[in-house]
Amino acid sequence: MSLNGGREISLLVRMLRRGFVVCCAALAFAGASHADPIATVEVADGTVFVRQADGKRRILSNGSKVEVGDTLTTEKDSYARLRFTDGSELAVRPSSSLRVNDYHYQEWQPNNDSFSMRLIKGGLRTVTGLIGKRGNQDAYKVEGATATIGIRGTDFVARVCGLECASATPPRKAADGEDEMPNPIAARLFSAEGPVLVTPLGGTAKPLAQGDPVYVGDTVEAAASGHATLVFSDESRVVVNGGSIYKIVAYRYAPANKERNQMFTELIKGGLRVVTGLIGKAQPSAVRYDTVTATIGIRGTNFDMVCTPSGAQGGASGLDVPQMGVSCRQGVYASTREGTIEVASGESRMLVPSGQVGYIDGPGARPVLLPNVPHFLQNLPAPKPEQFKVNHQELFGKDASQMKEAGLYVSVRDGRVALTQRSGEAVELKAGETGFAGIEGRGLMRIAIPPPFINQDAYLRSMNVDPATCR
């Protein structure tokens, strides 16, 4: 063989070897990309570890990575917080275990998004990222032992409970001035005639459907030719007359902490028909119905209030067909159907006994008691709220403050989730609502007042809790 021939063979061998190395490197990279990290541990306090799909176990610390197939476990008095590549955040309480079954997120492939976890034991809180908010809305799911949580872009707490919840240590008592996280749902739309709109504080108007929750800061508007009936969690009832606008300014109802309960609302235009609830019966001074012109204070009563143009004070016969849906910057009528109300304007105050009517002709005007009830107040087109039969537990859910039954508890802080059992039975939960799914497909329900271990868990009260102080 010639010298040149030998050099050519040697060069060929080196090229083949180099190609083999490149090929192996490519295969290795392909294998690694299949197990790319999907989340980073931002906080690992105490003993936190994962068991990988191949059975290997590794301890997690701040900055550790988590992959698909990993089962994350926090031991007693340990806590973890993770951030996923789509922006999702996950907090895991002590004595918990969860497995990441599936995760797929590529910025340019929204329709291929998927995120599936299984909560094996313990509890978590999650704030969803882009998965579930774009492309496939059913892409984000959390499986529990008894039901599946379907996400619609939300912040929620989930807790799988057995005997450990029944024996859970009572949560730390809130310090003076600290919020004990009362239910943010003030009322629900019980019934309506015609369209009803709700405008959240700082948001845009949207339709309000029967059964939908209404929150503090929401403004409700009834169609001119209809009306809307709201039932509050303390059993107050308010019929918003046609063409009227009504705002819930401040509301808090917690049966265990009555001294902090309150109900302050504002009639912006139109009129209302009211039945006082439990807050007003226990603490009348904690309930107030405001307008620009006057404030109505209650004494445990049923009453009507209607805004009209100034100068519209009725005489012996009153107004037969007043202008309705008027801004409450003018005249205000307040008619008591049962009990007594107090009408206040400027420095003046006046009691209106049962069956009588007070009138204020404008902001700061002195209230006067009319000799007769005007005809239009005797024949308001909207129904009286006391005529409705309301199943309060069916509307708001069960008082489960002492509940310790085994199953899956889900409390929604923002957005909405669908809690679905294997039988297909489901309940949709919105912000402020809590649901429960019992073992063996039993006991799916909405909860009005959740047990402390789900809504007062120190580790899950905030996504940025300090594990050293639980605050």
Q: Hey, which residues does 421 pair with through a beta bridge?
A: 147
Task: Using the predicted structure, report yes or no on whether residue 13 has a pLDDT greater than 50.
Answer: no
Would you place residue 29 in the very low, low, confident or very high pLDDT band (cuts 50, 70, 90)? very low
Structure-block tokens of residue 30? 């392909």
Q: What is the average pLDDT across 411-439?
A: 91
Residue 122 in this model has a pLDDT that exceeds 70? yes
What is the structure's pLDDT at 137? 75
Q: Domain for residue 172, yes or no? A: no
Segment 379-405, tens digit of pLDDT: 899 999 999 999 999 899 888 888 888
Quick one: 152 exposed, middle or buried, by C-beta within 10 A (0-12, 13-18, 19+)?
A: middle
Higher-confidence position of 138 and 324: 138
For residues 113 and 255, the model is more confident at 113
Does residue 88 sit in the same domain as residue 140?
Answer: yes
Q: Residue 159 has what pLDDT?
A: 94
| CA distances for 198 relative to 50, 62, 453, angstroms | 46, 44, 32
pLDDT of residue 135: 72
Q: What is the pLDDT of residue 34?
A: 47
**pLDDT higher than 80, residue 282:** yes
Residue-wise pLDDT tens digits, 144-200: 988 999 987 789 999 998 877 766 655 544 444 444 455 689 999 999 999 999 999
Q: How confident is the model at residue 468 (pLDDT cuts 50, 70, 90)?
A: low
Residues 117 and 66 in one domain: yes
Q: Is residue 28 part of a domain?
A: yes
pLDDT band at 35 (very low <50, low <70, confident <90, very high): low
For range 228-257, the mean pLDDT: 94
pLDDT in tens, 53-111: 999 999 999 999 999 999 999 999 999 999 999 999 999 999 999 999 999 999 898 88
Q: Is residue 175 part of a domain?
A: no
Which of 354, 387, 420 lies at the terminal end of a domain, its last residue? 387
pLDDT at 168: 62
Query: In the predicted model, what is the mean pLDDT of residues 268-287?
Result: 95
Closest by CA to 460, choosing from 398, 403, 412, is 412
For residue 236, give the CATH number of its domain: 2.60.120.1440
Whether residue 65 is found in the same domain as residue 155 = yes
For a pLDDT cut of 70, what percent of the chain falls above it?
A: 84
- 269 lies in the same domain as 368: yes
Specify the number of domains making up the chain: 3
Listed in sequence order, the residues at least 6 apart from 197 whose beta carbon sits closer than 8 Å to its beta carbon are: 205, 206, 207, 208, 220, 221
**pLDDT surpassing 90 at residue 272:** yes
Average pLDDT, the chain: 86
Whether 318 is in a domain gets the answer yes
Domain shared by 152 and 192, yes or no: no
pLDDT at site 404? 84
How does pLDDT run across 43-66, given as a tens digit for each residue?
A: 999 999 999 999 999 999 999 999
Query: Does 338 reside within a domain?
Result: yes
Mean pLDDT confidence for 330-346: 94
Confidence of residue 311 (pLDDT cuts 50, 70, 90): confident
389 within 8 A of 128, measured Cβ to Cβ: no
Q: Is residue 180 part of a domain?
A: no
Range of the domain at 2: 1-34
CB-based contacts of 324: which residues, under 8 Å, 6+ apart?
Answer: 241, 242, 243, 270, 271, 306
Do 418 and 351 share a domain, yes or no?
no
Residues 282 and 373 in one domain: yes
334 and 456 share a domain? Answer: no
Domain assignment of residue 169, yes or no: no
Is 215 found in the same domain as 335? Answer: yes
User: What end-to-end distance do the CA atoms of the chain give, in Å?
Assistant: 82
Smallest CA-to-CA distance from 423 within 449, 407, 443, 448 is with 443
414 lies in the same domain as 370: no
Phi-psi region of 407 (alpha: psi -120 to 50; beta: other; left: phi over 0): left
Residue 394 lies in a domain: no
SS (H, E, C) 115-164: EEEEEEEEEEEEECCCECCECCCCCEEEECCCEEEEECCCEEEEEEECHH
- Do 252 and 348 lie in one domain? The reply is yes
Tell whether pTM > 0.85: no
Q: Are residues 192 and 288 in the same domain?
A: yes
Distance CA 337, CA 328 (A): 21
pLDDT at position 28: 38
pLDDT band at 322; cut points 50, 70, 90 = low
